[in-house]
Chains A and B, each alone.
Chain A
Amino acid sequence: MVKFSEVEKHSDLIQICGKCGDCATSGTQLSTAKRHVSEPCPVKNVLGFEAYDARGRILILKRILENNFKIDDGFLNWAYTCTECGSCRETCLAIEGGIDTPLLMDALRQDLVKNNYRLKKHELILESIRKHHNPYNEPLKERFAFLDAAKNYFDVKNADYILYIGCTESYRQQNIALATIELLEHLGINFAILEEENCCGSILRRYGYEEEFKELAKSNLTYLNKQTTKKIIFPCAGCLRTFKLDYQDYNSTDLQFFHLTEFLEEFFKTHPYNFKLQNHKKIGYHDPCHLGRHVGVYEAPRTLLKLLENSTFIELDALRNYSHCCGAGGGVKSSNPDLAVEIAKNRNAEALQKAIDILVSACPFCERNLADGIPENANGFMVVDIAEILNKTIQKELSTEISHLGVKSEICKQYMKFLGQYPEIFSDLIPGSDMDFAIYDSFDDFEEEKTMDAFHVLRKEEGVEIIPGKADDADLELALSKEAIAKLIQTKSKEDYATRFGDFYNDPSFEEGWIDFLLHKRTKTLIDMGYGKFAEAAGILEDEEDAL
C-alpha cells in the first residue's frame, strides 16, 4: 500500500477547492478576467486536458488519498508535467493567496520518492549532483572552463560581492555568465566567484528528493557562511529562488541574496549610466516565475530595460504575477522536453503578436527554453538574457589597427593614419561591416572605375582595422577625390571632419573635391548594418531642419 503522507498533510487545502476553474479556463467566464489574465495554466494550454490544470490535479490528489489507488507509468508521467510556476495560485480565489498547487505537487513528488517510485532519469541527475556537483553529468573541474584565467576570480576574501554563477550558466548558457562577468567588470564592481561553487539543488526539490535536498542546502549554507563576503549576487533566477525560499527552513545565517537585476537597479541609482542599442528595437520582458511570482522581483528588470536608449519597451499581455511560464520549470525541461518547448512556443507567440524584436528574460533556464521554442518564420526575433542585452550596449572604446603594407600613395597613407585617430566614427556599424575607401585622381576615373589607391575599414567586435586594398566583399565603396582627402586630413576635430565630409558630398566640385559612394549590397541590408546612422554622423545625410 502506497502512503501519501506528505500529500495528506495538505488535505485541508485539497478539500477547500471549489472547482470554479479560474485556474485554467479563459474568456469572460473567468472571475479573474477583469484582471486581464486568461488561460493561466501553461501546461493545460498545450496538453488541453483538465487533468493538467490545478483543478484537475487537485481532483486527482483527492482521489489518491482514498484507498486502493494504483500508481502506473501514466500517473508518474503526469506527476512531473507541472512546471510549478504558480500561475494558478494567482487566479485562485478560494483562499487568501490562492491554493498552492505547486506545494501539493512537491508533496506528491516527495511521497513518490519515499515510496520508491524513483525514475531512472531522476536518479541519474541525483547521482550527477552527488558526484560532479551539477545536474548535467559534467566534470566538476570544468565548471569554470568557459572563463579565461578563472583563478583570477577566486579571491573572495578581498571582494565586496560573491557572484554565484550556477550550473546552467556554467555548463550550458555560458554566454550569460560571460556577459554578466564582463558587465560587472565594466561597471567596476569588486566581485569574486566561489572556487567550490556547488549545485543549489533546486532540481532535487522539484523531483521530490527532500532528504538529499536538505543535506545539500545545509552544506551550501555552511560553505557560504564561512566566506568573509555575505552579499551574494545571482544571475540565475532558479538559484536565487532556491537560496531565498527553499533554504529558508535551514537558514540561520545573515547572508544576503540578490538577483543581478536587483543589484544593478540599486547600483545605477548612484552610478547613472547610458546604454544604447545600435539599431532601434522593440524590447519585451518575460517575467521568469522564479524571479517574479516566487521572489517578487518585477520592477528591477523593467527599470533596467527602460534605460536602453534607441529602443521601445513593450509589455506582454500576461505579465508580472500573471506572466505565463516559459515551460522549463518544475523539472519539466528534463522530464518532458517536448512539452517544455511547446509551452515556450506559446510564450514566444505572445511576444511575436506584439511585434517584439527581442524578448528579454532574467533566468538562464527561461532563455534556453524560449530560444528552443522560437518558430522558424520568426524574422530575426531573439530571446536574450538581460545581462546580454545590457552587455551588448556597453559603449566600448574602439581601437584601431592599421597596417600600411602595400599602400601606394602618400595621401592614402596619411588618410589611413588620420582615420585611425577616430575609430568611433565607425561605432554605429555592426561588427563584420567592411567598407572600401577608394581614392580617385579625377571624376572621369571614378566613372571609368580607375581607382588610384584604396583601403578598407573592417569593423571588428572591439574596434576597427584599416587594411590596404579593397575588401573582397565590401558592403559599399566610399569614393573620394584626392583633393577632398587633402583637405579632410587638415581638419582638427572629428566634428570639423564630418562637416567638411558632408560638404564634399552635398556640394561636390570637380576642382575643389568631391565624395560619392556606391552601394554593393541591398539598401535595406546596409541600413540594418548601421550605414544609415554612419552616413548621418558623417554629414552625408543632412539634418532636415538645417536644410530649411
Chain B
Amino acid sequence: MSSQELEIKNKYTGEIIDRIPADTPETIQAKIKRIHRNQEKLREMDFVERAQILSKFATRLRFKKKQLKELIVAEGGLPIKYSEWEIAIVSNGFKFCEWYYQFMEDKELTSIEGEKFAKIVYLPEGLAACVAPRNTPLSLPLYQLGANYLVGNAAIVKPSTACPLTMIEAYSMMEEAETPGIDALDIAIAPGRWAVDEFIKNDLIKVFLSISSSHTAKDILVSYARMLKKSVDKSMGVPMYTLPFKKFVFECAGNDAGIIMDDVNLEQVAKWNVDASYTNSGQQCFSMKRIIVHRDVYDEYIECVIREMEKLKYGDPMDPDVDIGPLGSRKILMMMEVMVADAKKYDAKIYTGAEKIDTGKDYGLFYKPTLVEIKPELCEDLSKAPFLWREEAFGPVRSVTKADSFEDAIRLANASNYGMRAVVYTSNLERIEIFKKKLEAANIYINARPMLTDITVALGGIKDSAYPPGAKYYPQELVYQKYIMDQTAKNLDKIK
C-alpha cells in the first residue's frame, strides 16, 4: 500500500481542516520497532517520576485548552460546551495519575505460618497497541497513551481517522515539551481495519487495547484466530502455533439501563437523565440508553423528560449554547433511522423526535433527540426484542419502558446482552442495596450526577460490554502480577 493523504473535514461545515499523510503497513511496522527499541527509556524512570511528568503535561493541556477545544469541535462535531468535559477528564486524570499507584504497589504476603517471604509485584506488560473510537477525539486516545506511559509500556495509539488532529496535536505537545521517553510512544494514522491486522500480527506487541463496538472486537478475535491458524508449524508431526499469546483488552458497547423509581424528584432526575442520555448526541458508550420508569410516575416522568429535551438546542457546535452537534457520520444517521423504523413495526410510540436534517453530504447531519416507548412485554425474549432495545443506539435515540415494580425494573435492566453501567434513582435505602447486588453491570451509579469526571470513575463492563469482564482502570490492565518467593533470609545458611 502506498502512502495516501487524508482529508479531515469539519463535521458541521464540511470545510477541510487539514490534509495529513497516512501510515502504510511498512511505516506502522517501523514505528512499532522504534518504540520497542526505546521502551527501556520509560523503564529507567519509576512510576512516581512518570506520574510527575504526566502531571506536568496536564498543565500544558490546560494552557492549550482553547485551541484543543476548537479542534475537537471542528473535527469531532462535539458541541464546545461538551468539549470542556472531554479535556477535563484527561487533564484531571493526568494531573492526579499518581492516584493509580495504590493498585500496583508491592503486596507483601503473610503465609499461614506467619512468614513474610513472598510478595506480589506489578510489572509493565510490554508494548501496547491501542485503538481509539471516533466519538472522543482526545480523551480516550490520550488516556490510552497516558496509561501505558504511566506503567512503563511503550505504546502505539491509533486515533480514529475521522478525527485524528486533536490527538496529533497532543502528541506534538508532548514532543515540544521534550517529554522523557516520548520515543517509546507513537501514533498511527491508518484508515481501515488493516491497521489492526498489522498490530495483531506483530510479535513485539504484547497488549492489544481497543475501544470499539462489541462486534468489531469479536471480528478482531476472529482475525487473530485466523493468524494463529496460519502460524501452525507441522514439521514435528503435531501442530504447533508459532504466533504467541497476546493480551486483548476490549472496551465495547454499552446499552445502559437507567431506572427511575416512584420516590424521586422527577424534575431533577429528568434533567440529569437528559444530560446522561443526549450529551454528545448520545454518541457515548456509557450514555443512559434504556430508560426504565416505575409505572406510577411513568406519564408524569415522560412529560418532565420531554420538557427537558425541548430545551436542548442543536446547530453550530461552536455556539456555546448548543447542546447537540452534528453526527459523526452518515452511518450513524442511517442507524438511528433504522432503529426508529424497526421500533415502529412493534407499534412503538414515538414521544418526540424522529426527525433529521440531511444535507446529503457527509457533514452537517443531525438527528433530533428522540424518545421511543418500548413495551415491557417486548423485552422478555431478547431475540425478538426491538433492535433499539437489543443493540446500542450510538446516537440520540433512546427507549423508555414501563416497569411494574422494582423487581420488574431489575428484570428489565438485566434483559440485555450488555452490562457496562446501570443507573438508579430512588430514595428507598433498602432497595438501593438490592439494586447494587442484583443489577448486572460492572459499574453501578446510584443517585449520581451524570458525566462525572472524578478520578475514581472506572471503565469496563460485563457481558458483551467489555473483555475481560469487570470494572477496570487502564493502568491496572496494563501490568501483570509477578509472584516472588525469597527465602534467602531463612535458608542462606543451608544453601551456602
Contact = CB atoms under 8 A, between A and B. Distances in A.
B111 to A, nearest CB: 15
Interface string B43-66: 000000000000100010011011
Given A522-B98, A523-B98, A524-B102, A547 B84 contact: yes
B171 interface: no
A544 B62 contact: no
B85 interface: yes
B98 A510 contact: no
B55 A519 contact: yes
A508 B451 contact: no
A182 interface: no
A485 B7 CA distance: 45
A505 B62 contact: yes
Given A519-B55, A522-B98, A524-B102, A548 B62 contact: no
Contacts of B63: 443, 508-510, 514
Contacts of A279: none
A309 B452 CA distance: 23
A506 interface: yes
Interface string B76-88: 0000011011001
B275 interface: yes
B453 interface: yes
Contact of A545 (B66, B102, B449): B449
A516 interface: yes
Contact of B98 (A507, A519, A542, A544): A519
Contacts of B279: 548
Interface in B130-178: none
Contacts of B275: 548
Contacts of B55: 518-519
A545 B454 CA distance: 12
Contacts of A545: 449
Interface in A203-228: none
B453 A547 contact: yes
Contact of A542 (B65, B88, B96, B101): B88
B99 interface: yes
Interface in A498-512: 505-510
Contact of A548 (B66, B82, B92): B82
Interface majority SS (helix, strand, loop, mixed), chain B: helix
A277 to B, nearest CB: 20
A547 B101 CA distance: 28
A548 B277 CA distance: 13
B98 A547 contact: no
Interface string A84-107: 000000000000000000000000
B88 A524 contact: no
A544 B65 contact: no
B98 A548 contact: no
Contact of B452 (A514, A516, A522, A544): A544
Nearest to A522: B98
Interface in A517-548: 518-519, 522-524, 541-542, 544-545, 547-548
Contacts of B81: 548
Interface residues of B, number: 24
Nearest to B99: A523
Nearest to B51: A523
Given A547-B453, A548-B81, A508 B62 contact: yes
A522 B88 contact: no
A548 B85 contact: yes
A541 B88 CA distance: 10
Contact of A507 (B62, B85, B102, B449): B62
Nearest to B101: A522
Interface residues of A, number: 20
Contacts, number: 46
Interface string B445-458: 00001011110000
Interface string A478-518: 00000000000000000000000000011111100010101
A516 B452 CA distance: 22
Nearest to A479: B59
Contacts of B82: 548
Nearest to B59: A516
Contacts of A505: 62
A438 to B, nearest CB: 14
A510 B96 CA distance: 23
Interface string B432-475: 00000000000000000101111000000000000000000000
A544 B59 CA distance: 19
B271 to A, nearest CB: 9
Nearest to B85: A547
Nearest to B448: A544
Contacts of A508: 59, 62-63
Interface in B401-451: 449, 451
Nearest to A506: B62
A300 to B, nearest CB: 23
Interface in A408-432: none
A476 to B, nearest CB: 11
A519 B98 CA distance: 10
Nearest to B92: A541
A293 B449 CA distance: 44
Contacts of A523: 96, 98-99, 101
A519 to B, nearest CB: 7
A542 B95 CA distance: 14
Contact of B449 (A516, A518, A544): A544
A544 B99 contact: no
A443 to B, nearest CB: 8
Nearest to A541: B92
A507 B59 contact: no
A524 B100 CA distance: 9
Interface string B382-400: 0000000000000000000
A11 B99 CA distance: 67
A364 B453 CA distance: 44
B451 A548 contact: yes
A516 B98 CA distance: 16
Given A519-B55, A547-B84, A507 B451 contact: no
Q: Which of A508, A510, A523 has the most CB of B within 10 A?
A: A523
B62 A547 contact: no
Interface string B209-233: 0000000000000000000000000
A443 B55 CA distance: 16
A547 B453 CA distance: 10
Contact of B99 (A524, A542, A547): A524
A139 to B, nearest CB: 45
B356 to A, nearest CB: 25
Nearest to B58: A516
Nearest to B96: A523
B96 A544 contact: no
A508 B63 CA distance: 5
Contacts of B99: 523-524
A543 to B, nearest CB: 9
B274 to A, nearest CB: 11
A478 to B, nearest CB: 13
Q: Which of A541, A545, A548 has the most CB of B within 10 A?
A: A548
Interface in A343-367: none
A523 B279 CA distance: 31
A46 B65 CA distance: 64
Nearest to B65: A507
22 contacts: A505-B62, A506-B62, A506-B65, A507-B62, A507-B66, A508-B59, A516-B59, A519-B98, A522-B101, A523-B101, A524-B99, A524-B102, A542-B88, A542-B453, A544-B452, A544-B453, A547-B88, A547-B451, A547-B453, A548-B81, A548-B279, A548-B451
Cβ-closest 8 pairs across A and B: A523-B99, A523-B98, A516-B59, A523-B96, A508-B63, A508-B62, A544-B452, A544-B449
Given A519-B55, A522-B101, 10 more contacts: A507-B65, A509-B63, A516-B59, A519-B98, A523-B98, A544-B452, A545-B449, A547-B85, A548-B81, A548-B85
Interface of A: 443, 505-510, 514, 516, 518-519, 522-524, 541-542, 544-545, 547-548
